[in-house]
Amino acid sequence: MFKSLSNINQEQLDIWVKQALTKAKYGHLPNYIPLLAEANPNNFAILLQSTDNYIISLGNMKIKVPFMSIIKPFLLFYLLSKFGNEFVFKKVGRKPSKKPFNSLEQLEVDGGWPRNPMINSGAITLSSLLPGNTAIERSNNFCYWLNNYGNCQLFLDKNVLASVRSLPNQNNQAIAKKLVESGYIKDAEITLDTYNQICCLSGRIFDIATLGILLVQSPHPEWQKHCCTVKALMTTCGLYETSNRYTIDIGVPLKSSVSGIILGLVPNKGVIVCYSPPLDQQGNSVAGLFLLEVIYRNLDQGVFS
Q: Which residues bind ligand GLN (CB under 6 A)?
A: 68-69, 101-102, 120, 172, 199, 257-258, 283
Q: How far is the CB of 121 from ligand GLN (least distance, A)?
A: 10
Give the residue with the Cβ less far from ligand GLN, 116 or 301.
116
d(CA 74, CA 53): 21
Give the residue with the Cβ less far from ligand GLN, 32 or 145.
32
Give the residue with the Cβ less far from ligand GLN, 30 or 270.
30
d(CA 140, CA 204): 18
HEC profile for 5-40?
Answer: HHHCCHHHHHHHHHHHHHHHCCCECCCCCHHHHCCC
Outline where DSSP puts E strands in the chain. 45-50, 55-59, 64-66, 155-156, 201-204, 254-256, 261-266, 270-275
Give the residue with the Cβ less far from ligand GLN, 20 or 68.
68
Name the residue among 41, 22, 20 with its Cα closest to residue 30.
41
d(CA 127, CA 113): 15
Phi, psi of 137 (to 5 degrees): -65, -45
Q: How far is the CB of 172 from ligand GLN (least distance, A)?
A: 5
Q: How far is the CB of 148 from ligand GLN (least distance, A)?
A: 24
Q: How far is the CB of 151 from ligand GLN (least distance, A)?
A: 25
Q: For ligand GLN, which residue has the nearest CB?
A: 69
Which string of b and e fits 173-204 if b means at least 16 CB within 10 Å? Answer: eebbebbbebebbeebebbbbbbbbbbbbbbb
- Please, are residues 243 and 256 in contact by the beta-carbon 8 Å criterion? no
d(CA 287, CA 35): 20
Give the residue with the Cβ less far from ligand GLN, 13 or 146.
146
Give the residue with the Cβ less far from ligand GLN, 68 or 272.
68
Compute how many other C-beta atoms are within 10 angstroms of the C-beta atom of residue 40: 10
Give the residue with the Cβ less far from ligand GLN, 13 or 289.
289
Q: How far is the CB of 227 from ligand GLN (least distance, A)?
A: 22
Q: How far is the CB of 139 from ligand GLN (least distance, A)?
A: 13
Q: How far is the CB of 187 from ligand GLN (least distance, A)?
A: 18
Phi, psi of 282 (to 5 degrees): -90, 0
Q: Give bridge partners of residue 50 from the DSSP assignment.
A: 270
Give the residue with the Cβ less far from ligand GLN, 139 or 257.
257
Q: Name the residue type at position 20.
A: A
Q: How far is the CB of 278 from ligand GLN (least distance, A)?
A: 14
H or E element: which one contains 219?
A: none
